[in-house]
Structure 1
C-alpha cells in the first residue's frame, strides 16, 4: 500500500506579491503550509531582493507551470551607474567603478541593442547549472565561471525616468531573462558601469502583482476558507493555448491517456488544452479531429 501524501489535494494558483528579503522557495513553502497542500511549485524564480508577482501553483496546476514560465513577463527596475558588483545588484560587493555618467542621448542610442532577439551571459550568482551544480553555490565558494551566453527575446525596453545617478527602466521579455545582466551589459555599453538597485516583476503571463496577496495576508488567512477562496483556477496557467471542448466520453478517454474526439477544430499539430464543462482535462496535440494528450489533469 502506498504511503499517504501529507496535506490535502489542493489545486489552483495562489498569486503572491513577494516582498524583498525572502526567497521564492520560502514563499512557496509558506503558501503550501497555509493551504495544507500536498504539492506546490512556482512559475519563475525571483531573486531574494526582488519584489513582485510570484505565481504559486498547487496540485494539478503544477502541470501548467511550463506554459506560464514560457510566457512574457514585465519588470520595472532601477540601474545605478558607476559601479559593477559581484552579483550585478546592490547585494554584492563592488568590483569595478567608473566616473563616467551617460547623458540622455547616449542612453537613447544604447537601448535599441537590448531589444528584440539578443544574447546575454547570466550573472555569476544565478540559478544556471554548471556541471550539475547551481552557479550561485559555486560563486559563494569563490569559483569564477565562464558561463555561456543565452538567447533572450526582449519585446520592450523603455526608459521611465533618468537622473544623474541612474535610470528606471521597464522591460517585457520572454523566458530566461536576467534583469541584472541587462543592467550590467547596459552599463558596459555606455562605458559607465552599472548594477540593479531594485527590481519588481509587475506581471507574469496572466498574473499581476497588484492582484496578489502579501505574505502577511497569507499568514493571517492560513488554514481558513478565506484563503482557499483566493485560489485561482488551474486553467489560467493555460491562457496562451487554444481551448478545445470535448464531451464526457472523450474526457474519460483523455484522463486515461488516450486520444479524445474534439467538438471543434484547431490547426493540425497545434498544442491545445481539452476542456469538459469548462474544466481542464488534458494538454495535448490536435490531430485528425482529436486531442492526443501529453498531460492529463485529475481534479
Structure 2
C-alpha cells in the first residue's frame, strides 16, 4: 500500500470518528445508550463480535453487505431491537417472512455465531440488538477501512410482525420522494438517506429487482431505461437475459464490488446505477448535490455515512428494563 493511501485511510478514520462522536453524544443523551456499555459486564464483547465478523468476511467478502443490510432492515422496523432475527411462530409471521427479507437476508449465521460465543463467556448479558449494531460497524471497518464510535446498551424486542415490515421498510420501486417518506418518518434527513444508500457500493442484487429497467421500462415492451448508460445496459442484459429462469445476480458496484467506498456515487454520475432507486439519486435535484459532493470527496461521504449509521442505531431502542436479553436471537426467552 502506498504511503498516500495509508494516510488517506488514517485521515478517514480520525475524521469520521470525530464527526461520529458529535452524533453519538446526542444519541446517547436521548436513548441512554453509551460508549463501552459492556466494559464491566462483558469486557470482551465488542472484540468477540469484531473477530467473528472479520473471520466471516475473510471467507466471504459479500457477508459485509449482508450484515449492514441486516442492521438497516432491523432498525427500520420497531427500532433497533433485533426483531428481524426472530423466527415465525404458529399464528405469527415475523419480519423475516416479508418479501423484502426472506431469502435475501445474509449474515444471520454470523450473528448467531457471535451470540453463542458471548453466551459462553458472558451469559444473558449482550443483546442481539447490540451484536447486530457492532457487526454492521465492524463490517464497515473491514470493507471500507473506516470506523465510528458506537454507543450500546440496546435490549431485544419481543415482537416481530410481517405487517410492520411491510409498513416500515422503504420500497425499492417508487420515486425518491416516496422512499424519502420512510426515512422522514424515522426522523432521518435527505442527506442521511443519500449517505446510507452508499452501502450499495457493496453487495449483490437479483436481476428480478431491476429487469424492468432493461426490457419493459415504463411498461413498454423492448424499452430500456434511458437513464442507464447504453454500454452498461448491454452489460446488465448479458448478466440478466430476458425471460431467463436462472434468477441471476449482479454486483451493485461493478468497479469495486467488495469495497465500501464512494465509487457508488461516481458510478451514478456515469449513469451506472443498477437499481432505478440508485440512479434517481443522481437525477433528483434534492439528492444530486450530495451525490456530486460524495463522488468528489470520499472523506465527506465516510463521515456522513458514519454519522447516519449512528443515528440509525438510536432509533426506537429499548433500554434499561425494557425488552429482554435473548439467549437465542431467533426466539423469545
Task: Give the TM-score normalised by structure 1.
Answer: 0.24
Greater Rg by CA: 1
Higher helix share: 2
Higher strand share: 1
Task: Give the TM-score normalised by structure 2.
Answer: 0.22
